[in-house]
Structure 1
Amino acid sequence: MSDEKDIDYSLANPDTLTKYRVAATISEKVLAAVSTLCVAGEKVVTICQKGDKLIEEEVSKVYRTTKLKGFSHPTTVSPSSYVTPYTPLTSDTAEANIELQPGELVKIQLGAQIDGFGSIVCDTIIVPPKEEAQDVVTGRSADLILATYYANELLLRLLVPPGLLAAGSDEEKAKAAAAKPPTQTKITSLLDKVAKSYECNLVESTTSWLFDRNEIEGKKKIVIAPAEGTKGEGSPEVGEVWGVEVGLSLGSGKVKTIDQRATLLRRTNNTYILKSPTARKTLSTIQNKFGHFPFSLRQLEEEGGDTKYKVGVYEGVRQGVLRQYELVGDKDSAPVARLLTTLACLSQIITNNKEAITKNGITKLGAPPALDLSKFQSDKKITDEEVLKILEQPLSKNKGKSKNKKKKKPAKKAAKKDGEEESGDESEE
């Protein structure tokens, strides 16, 4: 039996891409289900519990012999002005009784992983009144949702590696491939134009990360609207997987720490032998169930059934083997919208419906559902020619013809006008 170190975990291995796609299918399915649970009067903690149960149920149905599978991110439901993912505790009476309000903008973030290959997705929805259909959204909520949607579409296109979609002669393709990717300053500048078109602001220091096996915060990152002292480094390349995030606010976009206990944590790569048996047992539980992916303290409560885990978590954080994610919100307590997409940069043969095709460009390995633009009305629009030109570009292209190529549907032509890629969304399986 070959050593695990000899296994190719890159996207050059078809099994890797398949595992990412399976995880993405689960993430998107659960995201859709959790979205339907978000109605006025429902408790946030109950929604998070149901979402986590759905992830566990769906993961149990696939790769039955694979031990390393489960969460890449617990279910989180963040209130209107929260920037970071929020997952309340059942043991905290005040938090456990928080209910969603009609018209509130909430961010749902969650994810699954198979063999350490995780897909994380985040969507922003407007909470509908209980048992009532949601009408067309207007006003500032519509401005924010549309601005975030178009900023996300723009960002995805700016991350396509240079030359990957180039056409023409070999010389023209080589010239395109030699071009430098846009700087992170340029990316922020272009996204800011979209935000300002809808009188919104970018959320400071919104970060996209390089993903790897068992890792969601790799060596490269892109930081949008960086705060003082922060900066990104690197850009996507062929064969890489990224978690790409965009966040916009109806306020200034500046953030503040929320005075609540951090309930989202993650195992770091640091090694330290914890002193107390309780702490070692807690860390072992975390390692076995969540690996190096984020988890909620609520999940430890439900796992252990007592409060002894708190001692282990405290010692783990103090010694740096656990990292806690502080809660952050909009400085003006204004509504915030976020989207997160897991994507891959590909230039290889992949299989769709038993048919091999070569696909160049960005493939979504997990994404929020496509926005129904007809349900959002705004008197504002994007007028910047540079931005509009980029939004017209596709995310990917098929090299060669598919035998069973279907005719374009009218809906895709309409989508193209709104900045969608000509070949359709790349979140299909």
Structure 2
Amino acid sequence: MAEEAQIDYSLNNPDTLTKYKSAAQISQKVLEAVSGWCIEGAKIVDLCERGDRLLEEEIAKVYKGKKIAKGISHPTTVSPDSYITPYTPLISDPEEAETKLKAGEFIKVQLGAQIDGFGTIVCDTLVIPSKQNDGNQIPSRQADLLLATHWANELLLRTMLPQGLLASGTEEEKKKAATSKKQYTQAKINSLLEKVAKSYDCNIVESTTCWLFERNEIEGKKKIILSPGEGVKGEGLPEVGDVWGVEIGVSLGTGKVKTLSNRPTLHRRTTTTYGLKRPSSRATLSEIVKKFGQFPFSLRQLDDERAAKVGVVECVRGNVLRQYEVIGDKDNDPVARLFTTVAITKNGLTRLSAPPEPDLSKYKTDKKITDEEVLEILEQPLSKNTGSKSKNKKKKKRPAKKADDDDEDDDDSDEE
């Protein structure tokens, strides 16, 4: 009997990238919708539920009639001002269910979709409109935080590229370019990011982690840890063929973190097996496996929210589920976060799902990046210009010494 053909789930298989892109388009569409719903007085729990319903509706529209698993790769979460981790309260916790958005605070919206186990996650930070930023102007310290986060993200993406990948010329010249300069180490990446944050009098959030994405897995074997705590270090560096979840967090304060008293409502199944004793625990785990696989989920997504709160206790204790604690800024200072899902191919880095490009003209501040090494990296493209969409190139303001300097966004052509 012939062995069943092994399916190639790597980026070498065009279907893999197609599925990633399909999931990414859904993530982008829902992110835009949820962001539009974020106004003063809106209840966070309502936003999360509406976001998940829209995710499910959009996911149902693709790959109809095909035996392909698909679903939410990350539930809709809305994290207020000083909250760092994704936040999604429960209706059955009355006090938290009443949490509303406040004018002038920073809001982090995060969500994602997956097709056939190929998940994309995206997060954007926005400021809830207030009298201070009427007229589309962002006050200086708010502008500092948003600019620091934007440029730190742009720098991080560029330092993840394998060296020499975008070199042109003969094969020999490309090979020489690849070996002439070593890939950025995690220590060097952190050093460069710190320069960006300090330019705006901000700090990188402690132990922010970027992960290698794999099929049915958003925390792969490789990880990059930004501003690592004592005794903490990352593993591995990005390579061609990788898909990564790239996260950047920046604080107006020290960047140090603390665990908040809020109930942890976000969980994810691990690969650990454990003999659960309680029927309620087994029933909860069975529902989780069926609905979410190993992707993150909120307790509010389960059929009976109250029963779920009881059922997960033994699952967490037995390490069958990972519980995501609610983490905030140690000094309650505002925090901004961005999350981008990227693919690294022979043509460079492609943003699969990414926060929208900000309108930098709204950000008024007297601070700017002056470090020449950082500015040089920021001018580098993320991908080769294939010429397919050269007419659609946009210009974006350069964070240089001259405020009116512009440079072309070389990576737009590959990022849809």
Bin of the TM-score, shorter chain as denominator length: over 0.9
Structure 1 residues 66 and 30, CA, compared in 2 at 3 Å: closer, same or farther? farther
Task: Tell me the residue number matched to 2:336.
Answer: 337
What amino acid is aligned across from residue 208 of structure 2 in structure 1? T
Structure 1 stretches of 4+ moved >6 Å = 1-5
Deviation at 1:10, TM superposition (A): 0.6
SS of 2:271's equivalent? coil
Matched, 1:407 2:391: yes
Identity across the alignment (%): 63
Structure 1: any 5+ residue segments left out of the alignment? 348-359
SS of 2:86's equivalent? coil
- 1:353-379 per-residue CA deviation (whole Å, 9 max, x = no partner) reads xxxxxxx00001110011111111111
Contact 1:77 1:107 in 2 (8 A): yes
Deviation at 1:141, TM superposition (A): 0.4
Matched, 1:392 2:410: no
Q: 2:348 aligns with which of 335, 345, 361?
A: 361
CA distance in 2, matches of 1:149, 1:7: 38
1:15-30 to 2 correspondence within 5 Å?
15-30=15-30
Structure 1 residues 413 and 326, CA, compared in 2 at 3 Å: closer, same or farther? closer
Task: Tell me the residue number matched to 2:287.
Answer: 285
Task: Tell me the residue number matched to 2:321.
Answer: 322
CA distance in 2, matches of 1:244, 1:418: 26
What amino acid is aligned across from residue 354 of structure 2 in structure 1? A
Deviation at 1:275, TM superposition (A): 1.8
- 1:54-89 per-residue CA deviation (whole Å, 9 max, x = no partner) reads 100000001122451111100000010011110001
Task: Tell me the residue number matched to 2:241.
Answer: 239
Structure 1 residues 425 and 252, CA, compared in 2 at 3 Å: closer, same or farther? farther
Task: Tell me the residue number matched to 2:363.
Answer: 376
Deviation at 1:298, TM superposition (A): 1.4
Structure 1 residues 182 and 78, CA, compared in 2 at 3 Å: closer, same or farther? same
1:91-110 to 2 correspondence within 5 Å?
91-110=92-111
Contact 1:396 1:421 in 2 (8 A): no
- 1:66-115 per-residue CA deviation (whole Å, 9 max, x = no partner) reads 45111110000001001111000100111000110001101011000001
Deviation at 1:398, TM superposition (A): 3.6
Deviation at 1:276, TM superposition (A): 2.1
Structure 1 residues 197 and 299, CA, compared in 2 at 3 Å: closer, same or farther? same
Number of aligned residues: 408
- 1:221-240 per-residue CA deviation (whole Å, 9 max, x = no partner) reads 00011001110011110001
Deviation at 1:418, TM superposition (A): 5.4
What amino acid is aligned across from residue 180 of structure 1 in structure 2? K
Matched, 1:427 2:415: yes
CA distance in 1, matches of 2:134, 2:68: 42
What amino acid is aligned across from residue 194 of structure 1 in structure 2? V
1:2-401 to 2 correspondence within 5 Å?
6-64=6-64, 65-129=66-130, 135-178=136-179, 179-300=181-302, 303-304=303-304, 307-347=306-346, 360-399=347-386
CA distance in 1, matches of 2:373, 2:270: 41
What amino acid is aligned across from residue 35 of structure 1 in structure 2? S
Structure 2: any 5+ residue segments left out of the alignment? 400-404
- 1:153-173 per-residue CA deviation (whole Å, 9 max, x = no partner) reads 000000111111012343331
Contact 2:397 2:407 in 1 (8 A): no
Contact 2:396 2:407 in 1 (8 A): no
Structure 1 residues 413 and 54, CA, compared in 2 at 3 Å: closer, same or farther? closer
Structure 1 residues 327 and 413, CA, compared in 2 at 3 Å: closer, same or farther? closer
Deviation at 1:277, TM superposition (A): 2.2
CA distance in 1, matches of 2:392, 2:352: 23
Structure 1 residues 4 and 316, CA, compared in 2 at 3 Å: closer, same or farther? farther
CA distance in 1, matches of 2:300, 2:34: 17
CA distance in 2, matches of 1:158, 1:406: 24
What amino acid is aligned across from residue 256 of structure 1 in structure 2? K
Deviation at 1:426, TM superposition (A): 3.7
Structure 1 residues 134 and 53, CA, compared in 2 at 3 Å: closer, same or farther? farther
CA distance in 1, matches of 2:245, 2:323: 19
Task: Tell me the residue number matched to 1:354.
Answer: none
SS of 2:72's equivalent? strand
Contact 2:268 2:294 in 1 (8 A): yes
Structure 1 residues 118 and 321, CA, compared in 2 at 3 Å: closer, same or farther? same
CA distance in 2, matches of 1:3, 1:297: 41
CA distance in 2, matches of 1:229, 1:157: 26
Please give the TM-score of this superposition, normalised by the length of structure 2. Answer: 0.93
Structure 1 residues 66 and 59, CA, compared in 2 at 3 Å: closer, same or farther? farther
Please give the TM-score of this superposition, normalised by the length of structure 1. Answer: 0.91
Task: Tell me the residue number matched to 2:402.
Answer: none
CA distance in 2, matches of 1:368, 1:295: 21
What amino acid is aligned across from residue 301 of structure 2 in structure 1? Q
Contact 1:48 1:87 in 2 (8 A): yes
Contact 2:395 2:407 in 1 (8 A): no
